[in-house]
Structure 1
């Protein structure tokens, strides 16, 4: 093969020629040049070996102005346009040794069935592809003799996205593959059969300074986008509902509860069956310090009332009062007949917003590590937004069943807020008390 000279960004030099691992996961901010170097890596590999590579995006039509255009630009820049043919219909790159790059979209899954002997797959903006699509593509990655590779590139998104859950950590299923903070510090890491690579605009020496300045300006008007675009880091997309939420080791939570002089104990229950869940939480309140502790959970779906009652036998023995969703009076009556101490929590017009505000008034919300579904739903819970980008104060991006259970558990309990305390103090001062 003719020697090719090409100036590249130093942070990507090792990546270009590293094909040891099956998976290569690249995450980074805007303008970091990760997509450019993936495209260059593919071209160099297919010039060297006869292979078929598949490039995938969620929507097929987006290839033309992104991946296909980028690959075509690199071919021309390398002076290889007389050897590598860039065909527009259907989009393909054809190499002199028989290698080829083909393009597919997950919006047309039937087209995937026609591909064979694909030994390399590049999923560009992989966070936009559904998890089921990723697993489908794994099944399409096969060749009788060649080593298989999958390259995934993306800007970071929320920590609830499948890319984070699969390649970093999934609290619900207690899977920790790699701490993303470690990747941000080390920049490249290999673990198991995956090569991780993190990049930002600072790694692209060909960017104008004005572009980086624009990214920095985002910090003043959109901190979330600044985290994604400038720092290239996963996180919470949107405004968090409970920024004071913390996860503690279970023993530390129980030690803190035991130190409360007169803890207020509550139990809340939300009903669910098919897509929603029966969610029950045990709560302890430090009224003076305005701290809410969550130290026990029950979280199951597709459970009939009799099976749930059997699971919760301990509540009959303890005689704990359960505050439950009053929208299910028949279910509440059934549990009463089974010997449970249970009552419906009050619901009224605007109760969702009132209950959300009540929980937000706690100075701290501390959850046991033994309540993984509470952590999963509430740690990164964010508000829904309207079409103008304004938050909807009583709607969230997921349906948090454990949050509803907390609402019901706090029925008839009031958290005094700072404004109320200030008003009382002011009134006392005026009275000379």
Structure 2
């Protein structure tokens, strides 16, 4: 007699409490923000495996910002879920290609990264339909357009009783994230289930785990707000704190005594966006008004030149990343003939940060959303014990780098030459 593929399980025993609505929801977007230890990723993995075994023509796409982070996170979590449900003998998890196959039917879980967009837009399944998509660590996805491209790939009709659903899991580090306005601000949208979970939803934590959160609440209240309560905000370790958003007229600011326009450019390409920033700075008053930006992946140098021409910045003195001398030369040949490389120098990142920390930074509230996002998300790195290092994370730093380059001419003063 063949072994049955299904068995009765206790949802409360396997999954625990706090996720009933999440588990039963059939709408398009199932979104969970939460703190650490809230079992959101584990519950999502258990749900994906269960749904696929319930619907034998369904397949799942799992997406992260970069492909190479899957194996130690989503792939391992889904493999754990099959063991937790007692069905691991029916599943095959392979590393090359990175995928999971439900052996009785051939259904697949496919893993992709936004660093290879063609692998997503051209995706096909051999058996059945692509019904489900899981975005893990969605906060790392800075560009809503990247999400939309994947969203549009989950399309087409499905058989009766089937449905298409995108599950989105993240920690709410920054209220400037597009995830808030897209999923948590709308009211009464039947296609969206947006919930917040915390470690209090996780009855599988032990006393030692809970004591860690008690310590955090007392000693690291900013971190506890995000990692403990799952609230929007920024954890401890923000590099820039003296900044705000404000609507202002740059033409009016430019006419005030002591203000000078500065421009910076950080090159990116496939994995990282190119970041451009324009600001007005008053060295005496230590005030910096950021009034223009550009933030886009996969820009060629021709694209950057066209952007600068379109924005009317071709005659400005632009300081760019000196690690890209060929790009600077090419932009010069394309008509951006007042561009030059940053001087940088020893410990240039920390030196530039320390100089910028002296300034009150005002970001235009409508024109520069990515600048605000990076300012709120740019953190000091931590070691394994949680101690902050005098070194920033290598993330959320494209406009931040461009701003440091732009400020070189102010920081160096009379010693700065073109």
Structure 1: gaps of 5 or more residues? 73-84, 170-175, 184-188, 416-433
Identify the residue that residue 18 of structure 1 maps to in structure 2. 25
Of 219, 230, 241, which aligns to 1:232?
230
Which of 1 and 2 has greater Rg? 1
Tell me if 1:263 matches 2:272: no
Structure 2: gaps of 5 or more residues? 1-6, 63-69, 94-99, 114-118, 414-418
Identify the residue that residue 75 of structure 1 maps to in structure 2. none
Tell me if 1:156 matches 2:171: yes
Per-residue CA shift, 1:16-59, capped at 9, x if unaligned?
4432x122223333444546765786798789x75445566633
Tell me if 1:292 matches 2:288: yes
Identify the residue that residue 80 of structure 2 maps to in structure 1. 66
CA positional deviation for 1:263: 3.3
Q: How does 1:264-413 map to 2 (within 5 A)?
A: 264-270=259-265, 272=267, 277=274, 279-285=276-282, 287-288=284-285, 290-297=286-293, 301-304=299-302, 310-311=309-310, 322=317, 324-325=319-320, 327=322, 347-362=344-359, 364-369=360-365, 370-384=367-381, 391-393=389-391, 396-401=394-399, 403-413=401-411
Classify 1:332/1:151 alpha carbon distance in 2 versus 1 (closer, same or farther; 3 Å). Answer: closer
Distance 2:32 2:369 in 1: 28
Identify the residue that residue 191 of structure 1 maps to in structure 2. 189
CA positional deviation for 1:360: 1.1
Conserved? CA contact 2:28–2:165, under 8 Å: yes
Distance 1:138 1:326 in 2: 36
Tell me if 1:121 matches 2:135: no
Classify 1:56/1:259 alpha carbon distance in 2 versus 1 (closer, same or farther; 3 Å). Answer: same
CA positional deviation for 1:101: 10
Classify 1:44/1:104 alpha carbon distance in 2 versus 1 (closer, same or farther; 3 Å). Answer: closer
Conserved? CA contact 1:106–1:133, under 8 Å: no
Distance 2:267 2:334 in 1: 19
Identify the residue that residue 33 of structure 2 maps to in structure 1. 27
Classify 1:225/1:117 alpha carbon distance in 2 versus 1 (closer, same or farther; 3 Å). Answer: farther
Q: How does 1:82-161 map to 2 (within 5 A)?
A: 87-88=89-90, 90=92, 104=109, 106=111, 115-118=126-129, 120-121=131-132, 123=134, 125=136, 127=138, 135=150, 138-139=153-154, 143-150=158-165, 152=167, 154-156=169-171, 158=173
Conserved? CA contact 1:383–1:392, under 8 Å: yes
Per-residue CA shift, 1:140-160, capped at 9, x if unaligned?
886333341325263516559
* Number of positions where the alignment pairs a residue of Structure 1 with one of Structure 2: 369
Distance 1:86 1:234 in 2: 37
CA positional deviation for 1:358: 0.7
